[in-house]
Structure 1
Amino acid sequence: MTSMGTSGLPSDDVLAAIRSHICARPYEVEPGRFIRCQSRLTAVCPSCAGLYRGDWQRIARSGIYDADGHPLPLYKYFFITLSAPSFGSVHLVPKWERDAGKRCKCGQTHGHDDVHLRGLPIDQGSYRYEDQVRWHGALGRLWKSAAAAMRRLCPDAEYFAVRELQSRMALHVHAVVRVPARAAVDAEAMGHAARMATATHPETGEVVEWGKRGVQDREIRARITESDDVTPDMSRAAARIVSYVSKCLAYSTKDITPGERDETATPERVEFVKRLRQTARLGVRCVDCPPGGPSDCTRRAHDNLGYGGHVVTVSRPTDRREGWSLPHLTRKRLREERMSWMEANRPADVGGGLSDTDVRLAEWLADQAARRARETWAEGQRARAPSSA
C-alpha cells in the first residue's frame, strides 16, 4: 500500500523513490513512443541525473581499478584543484577550521552561522560581473592549456576533471591526474604547471588565467606497510579517489544557478545571481553571437553564467595514449549497453522506449508536484494574512 502523508498525498519518501526510477519529463519521439529526457540536473529529473552521475562514476572507476576490481598498482594519482581568480572581495565565512577566526574584509569576523554570506560580494555594486562571465567563456580553453602544461611535465598523464560551482558562482575544476608510478613528477609540480597556464578569450582575445590562492595539490597515496616484503595497499587510496569524484559529480548535477529557486536564499544572494544571469544573457558576447547581440544568441553559455562547455572531461585514447578509461568506456557505450539489456529483457507485449506506465507515472508525479506547490503557496498566503483580531 502506498504510504500517504498528512495531506492525503503520498509521503515524501514514496515520491522520492518513484522519482528516482521514473523519468520526470519523457519525450515523445513519435506517437506513442517516449524516451528519457536525459537531463543531468537533479532538480529537473532525479532519475536521469542519477543515471548521468552513475555513468561518470563507472568511467571514473575504470581509470582506477582493473577488470577484476583491484586498484591499478603501476600508477600514482594526484588530486588537483584549479579555481577562478578574484573578481571582487567576497565575505570570508569559515568553511574549514583553518579559516576560523580570520577577519573578513567587511570588518567583521564571521562564524559558521553566517553561511548565508559565504561567497557574496562585500560590495555588489563594484563586483566585476562581466569579468567573471567572460572568464567562464574562456574556461574550456584555459583547461586545455592546463592539461597541455601538465603533459609537458609528464607526457603519459591522464585525467578525469569535473567542474564545480563555488558559492561565489564561479566555476572551478577538480582533476584527478594519473601518471605512471615511475614518473619523476609530484603533485606540487603538476599543480603549479597547470596553474601557470594561460589562454586567450575566443571573442575578446584577452589573456585569462587561474586563481593562485586557496588551493592545495596532493598525491593520493597508498597505505604504508611496516614490512618491505608487502606491497603497499592502494585499496583505501583508490576508495578515496572514487569518493572525491562522487562528491564532485553530486555537485555537478545541481542547477548551475542556485538561489533563484531556493526558498532559503537571502535577497542579497538572489540579487547577486540575478545580476550574473543578466550579464551573461545581455552584456557579454560570445563568438557565435549574431549582430543583435547576446540577447538573440541561442548558445547555452548565455543561460549558464557564460560557460557552455561540458561538466565532466576525461582524457581520450589516441594512437600514443591509453586515455583515462583503460577499457575505453564512454557514456555513449554505456547507454548502448543499457539499451541492449532493456531490449533483451523487455516483455514481448511492450514496444520500444518508455512504457505507458512510466509515462503515466511521470504525469502523475507532475500533478502531485503542482498540487503541493499550490498548497504551499496557499499556506504562505494564509500565514501572511493580517489577523482578524
Structure 2
Amino acid sequence: MSATTAPISAVVVAAVEVEAGQRLLSPTFERWAEQAANCGHCARPIRLRGQATTFDRATGEVLSTYDSATEPDGVLYARCGNRRASVCPSCSHEYKGDMWHLLAAGAAGGMKGVPESVATHPLVFATLTAPSFGAVHGLRRRSGRPTMCRPRATSARCEHGQPLGCRTVHAEGDRLLGQPLCPQCYDYTGHVVWQWWAPELWRRFTIALRRVLAASLGLTQKEAHTLVRVSFAKVAEFQRRGVVHFHALIRLDGPPTESEEFPAPLVDVTVQRLCELVHVAASRVWFDAPATAPGEPLRRLRFGMQVDARAVTADAIRETGRADDPDAGLHPETVAAYIAKYATKACDDFGLPPRLRDPEAARRMGIAEHVCRLLAEVHHLARTGGVKYLALAKWVSMIGFRGHFSTKSRRYSTTLSRLRSARKRWTVERLRDRLTGPAPVDERGAIPPEPEVKVEDTTLVVSSWSLDGIGWLTAGDAALAATAAAQAREWADERAKRRRELLRG
C-alpha cells in the first residue's frame, strides 16, 4: 500500500465507525435493527416510501394502517433477493438454502411434501462438460496425488512457438489454472458459440434420455411414458476455463396418480442401467450452430468426453467430502449441498463484478487475460455474427451463457415459490403468537400444513408505494447490517451442524 492510500483508507474506516456509532446510539436504533432483521440484513435493500391500509371486507372497518414516514429513515426496507453471493451474501445464503431443500427433497424425500419413498427410486448424479477448445493449465491428480499439468517433452512446440506441455504441479489458487497454453491456438469463437447454445444442448439431452430409456425397454416413447417418467434438477457451473458445465440429479418416477404425486416407476430399471443411459444420451446429442460469418460452415456442437454419472443412495456416508470425488459414495444430502452452492455463483470465480461488459475495464481490474479475450469475443460475435448472435450483447457479463443457472422438471420436488410461501407463513404465525398465543403444532413440534380448502380472505389491503432507492443510507448502516448478517449465517450453520449430528446419533 502506498503512502498516499494508507491515510485515505484510515479516514474511510474512521468515517464508517462514526456513522455506525451514531446509529447504535440513536434512540430509534431498536426499530432500525428490527427493520434490518425483517429484510434479512440484506446488503443492498430496496427502499420504499408509501402507505398501506388494511380494511375488513365485510364492514369496511379500518383494521390497521402503516406509513413508511414513521420509520427511523422514513422508508421501508425490503430484500433485494439477488442470488449472487458477490452481490448480496444474505439473500444468496437464503437462496442457497432454498435450493438445498429443493434438491434434497427430490433426492432423499421425507421433507417439503415429498414422501420418503422417493429415496428408493433410481437416482444418479450426472455431470456433462463442454468439449476442448484448446489446451489449458489444470489441476491433475493420479491416485489422489497432484501431478504435472501436461507432462510432455519441453521441446514440443505449437505452430506459434508455445510449449505443448507444462511440467508444473499447480496448486489451488494458481492464476495459471484455466489459462490456455497458447492463446493463439485457443478457439475463442468456438468457446463462445458453444456457450451460447449450451441450453439447447441440455434441452436435447433431456429428450434423448427419454428416447434411449424407451428404446432400452423395447417400447415406444408413448408406451414408456405410461410406465416411467424422467425427473431432474440441474445447475450450471463455470469451469476455470470460462465455460459452463452441467450438474444434474436425474431420477426415474412412475406416472403420477390422484393419490400419489411421486410414485415409483412401473418398470425395473436399475440405477447402474440409468448411469449407462445417461452416457449414451450424452454421446448422441448434437446441434448444428448457425454460422458466425457468411460462407463459414456450420459448427456441430456436442458435449465433451468427460461425462460422468454415478449412483446416489441413502446408504452412502454423508461425510464424503466433495461430490466430484470419483472414489466417494454419494449421499443425497451431500450431492444437494454440492449442487446448491453453485446456484448462487455466476462469474464470481473470475473476479468479474456483476454486469461488467467492457474487456478493457476488466484488464484494468486485473482480470485474467483469457477471460478478457472471451469478453471481447462475445462483443465481436454480437456485432458480426448475424441475427442469431445479436442478443449476445445482453449476456457479455455472463461470457455468452444465456441459460438459467438452476432448472428442474415440473415434478422433481417442491418449488421455490412454495418454500418462500412456507417461510412467509411461518413468519406470520410467529407474529400471531405474540397476540393470540402459540399456534397448534404436531407431534414433531412443527406447524401443520395449510388445509387444502382455501378460506376466503376477509381483509383488503390498499397500498401505494414508490421507489426511494437501493442500498443502506450510510456506509455505517451497511457495515452493521453486514456484521449482523454474518453472525446470523454463522448461527444458522452451527444449528444445522448440530441438527445433522443429532440425526446421525
Q: What TM-score do you get using the length of structure 1 for normalisation?
A: 0.69
Aligned partner letter, 2:415: T
**What is residue 418 of structure 2 aligned with on the other side?**
333
Instruction: Report the Cα offset of residue 269 of structure 1.
Output: 5.9
1:78 maps onto 2:78 in alignment: no
1:250 maps onto 2:341 in alignment: yes
Matched ranges for 1:367-378 at <5 A: none
Contact 1:23 1:362 in 2 (8 A): no
1:22 maps onto 2:41 in alignment: yes
- The partner residue of 2:199 within 140, 146, 151 is 140
C-alpha distance in 2 between matches for 1:99 and 1:153: 38
Matched ranges for 1:90-239 at <5 A: 90-94=136-140, 97=144, 100-101=147-148, 103-104=150-151, 106-113=164-171, 115-154=174-213, 156-179=229-252, 180=265, 182-183=268-269, 185-201=273-289, 206-212=299-305, 214-221=306-313, 223=315
Aligned partner letter, 2:176: L
SS of residue paired to 2:47:
strand
C-alpha distance in 2 between matches for 1:287 and 1:340: 47
Matched ranges for 1:339-358 at <5 A: 339-346=424-431
Instruction: Report the Cα offset of residue 196 of structure 1.
Output: 2.4
Contact 2:195 2:244 in 1 (8 A): yes
1:68-124 Cα deviation digits (max 9, x unpaired)? 684635312111110001111112432562762463464332214373322110012
Contact 2:315 2:331 in 1 (8 A): no
Contact 1:95 1:112 in 2 (8 A): no
Instruction: Report the Cα offset of residue 209 of structure 1.
Output: 0.9
Contact 2:119 2:313 in 1 (8 A): no
1:60 maps onto 2:103 in alignment: yes
SS of residue paired to 2:287:
strand
Which consecutive unaligned segments of at least 5 residues does structure 1 have? Answer: 1-6, 11-17, 225-236, 317-322, 371-389
C-alpha distance in 1 between matches for 2:481 and 2:41: 14
Instruction: Report the Cα offset of residue 302 of structure 1.
Output: 2.5
Contact 1:93 1:117 in 2 (8 A): no
Q: Classify 1:271/1:360 alpha carbon distance in 2 versus 1 (closer, same or farther; 3 Å).
A: closer
C-alpha distance in 2 between matches for 1:49 and 1:287: 35
Q: Classify 1:56/1:266 alpha carbon distance in 2 versus 1 (closer, same or farther; 3 Å).
A: same
Contact 1:116 1:266 in 2 (8 A): no
Q: Classify 1:45/1:125 alpha carbon distance in 2 versus 1 (closer, same or farther; 3 Å).
A: same
Instruction: Report the Cα offset of residue 45 of structure 1.
Output: 0.2
- Which structure has the greater CA radius of gyration? 2
Q: Which moved more, 1:90-99 or 1:358-367?
A: 358-367
SS of residue paired to 2:186:
coil
**What is residue 488 of structure 2 aligned with on the other side?**
none
Instruction: Report the Cα offset of residue 305 of structure 1.
Output: 0.6
SS of residue paired to 2:80:
coil
**What is residue 450 of structure 2 aligned with on the other side?**
none
C-alpha distance in 2 between matches for 1:289 and 1:334: 37
Which consecutive unaligned segments of at least 5 residues does structure 2 have? Answer: 1-12, 18-35, 51-74, 153-163, 214-224, 253-264, 293-297, 317-327, 354-362, 435-462, 483-505
C-alpha distance in 1 between matches for 2:238 and 2:429: 40
Contact 1:162 1:311 in 2 (8 A): yes
Contact 2:47 2:78 in 1 (8 A): yes
C-alpha distance in 1 between matches for 2:182 and 2:367: 12
Number of aligned positions between the proteins: 322
Contact 2:148 2:170 in 1 (8 A): no
1:239-259 Cα deviation digits (max 9, x unpaired)? 723212322321332341533
Q: Which moved more, 1:47-56 or 1:100-109?
A: 100-109
**What is residue 359 of structure 2 aligned with on the other side?**
none
Instruction: Report the Cα offset of residue 147 of structure 1.
Output: 0.9
C-alpha distance in 2 between matches for 1:111 and 1:244: 29
What RMSD in Å do the two structures reach over aligned CA positions?
Answer: 4.0
Q: Classify 1:277/1:240 alpha carbon distance in 2 versus 1 (closer, same or farther; 3 Å).
A: same
Identity %: 27
Q: Classify 1:307/1:66 alpha carbon distance in 2 versus 1 (closer, same or farther; 3 Å).
A: same
